[in-house]
Amino acid sequence: MGRLRKKGQSIYKQTYTIITMKNFYSVLLIIIVSCLVFVGCKNDNSPVLKEPKPIYFILQDSLGRTIDTTFIQYDGKKIVLCYNLFGRVSYKYSGNTMIETSYSNGQIQGYSVHTFNGSNQLIKTELFRPDTTVGKFIMESTLTMTYLSKENYNSDYTNFFASINGSIVTTTSSIKRTYDSQGNEISNTTKTDNITFIETKTYDNKNGIFKGVDLTHFNSTWGMLNGFNDYSFNNILTYVFTDSGNPTNTSSDIYTFTYNALNYPDSETEISDAKKYKTLFVYE
């Protein structure tokens, strides 16, 4: 989980780094997540089992010193607020739209409007920022995602079209994801500008940290909660990133967990790029 709050090496970050080098004004970090929520019961007369939701997690360094604490608030099973030392992000849902607003020192830094189709796939993100010269928020960029085909549950291909400050710039990326039988993403291959980025992952067989959270329309442009999809069903154990355009740009992370009586993680230890981090989880 430390990877969620460090710079990381995700395909999305690498992809948009390339876009930025093409003089895009800003970077959109889009993480598409899906969540399966279920209720377990033994028979018709047994009580409904309540799946716990994490309300905060504490990131520590190798010496046990606290680096940061991220707090999460909910409306039912939906995330509506996250905050830590670096800022605050709120989430509002309406139909197939989610509005994500970022704050720093009590001031709105910008907001994103995420729109989904009937299959709950993200199809557009509009990023707005404050413009002091006109005294209002203006659209900084738009990212549109067109799903070219959906062969089956295990694959999808996506085009990205972005307009920056009114000037339309088009870049095409193809993304293929594969999943295991539980719904965990085990590989993610992105091809753009003749470069291929590949993520591969393995998982445990315990309850995912965010298994009890409805992430159907959840997205995090601002990066505070990136990677929740790696903990929706089970929990990630290994992560490997490779870049065909730069063979030295390779990273690998290893995760180990301790679990509570309900088989949910209460701690995670991550070894990433020879650095060690630990995250403690507290549930409601």
Mean residue pLDDT across the chain: 77
Distance CA 101, CA 185 (A): 27
| Beta carbons within 10 angstroms of residue 148's beta carbon | 10
User: What value does the mean pLDDT take over residues 186-197?
Assistant: 85
User: What value does the mean pLDDT take over residues 90-103?
Assistant: 95
User: What value does the mean pLDDT take over residues 19-31?
Assistant: 32
The residue that leads in pLDDT, 132 or 162, is 132
The residue that leads in pLDDT, 199 or 227, is 199
pLDDT value at position 20? 33
pTM of this structure: 0.74
Q: What is the pLDDT of residues 158-187, one digit of tens each?
A: 555 555 555 555 666 677 778 899 989 899
Domain boundaries, the chain: 2-39+50-283
Q: What is the pLDDT of residues 47-70, one digit of tens each?
A: 445 789 999 999 999 999 999 999
Residues 6+ apart with CB under 8 A from 99: 91, 92, 111, 112, 113, 114
Give the residue among 2, 51, 67, 79 at the shortest CA–CA distance from 257: 2
pLDDT value at position 236? 95
User: What value does the mean pLDDT take over residues 135-147?
Assistant: 81
- Look at the domain 2-39+50-283 and name its fold: Porin (2.40.160)
Report residue 32's pLDDT band, with 50, 70 and 90 as the boundaries.
very low
